[in-house]
Amino acid sequence: MAEIALKAGGITKYFHDPVTFPVLKNIDLEVSRGEFVSIVGKSGCGKSTLLYILSTMDTDYEGKLEINGVNVTGKSLNELAFIRNSSIGFVFQFHYLLPDFSCLKNVMIPGLRLGRLSYKEVEQKAYEKLKMFGVEDLALKSANKLSGGQQQRVAIARSLINDPAIIMGDEPTGNLDSKNTGIVFDLFQRLTKEYHQTIIAVTHDEDFAQKSDRIIEMADGEVVK
Report residues of the chain scoring pLDDT below 50: none
Find out whether the peptide bond into 18 is cis, omega within 30 degrees of 0: yes
For the chain, percent of residues with pLDDT exceeding 70: 99
> Would you give the distance in Å from CA 26 to the centre of its chain?
22
Query: Which stretches within the chain are classed as H helix?
Result: 47-54, 77-87, 103-114, 119-132, 148-159, 178-195, 206-211
HEC states along 136-180? HHHCCCEHHHCCHHHHHHHHHHHHCCCCCCEEEEECCCCCCCHHH
The correct CATH number of 4-223 out of 3.40.190.10, 3.40.50.300, 1.10.287.110, 3.30.360.10 is 3.40.50.300
pLDDT at 1: 58
> Would you give the distance in Å from CA 10 to the centre of its chain?
22
pLDDT, tens only, 56-80: 999 999 999 999 889 999 999 999 9
**What are the extents of the domains in the chain?**
4-223
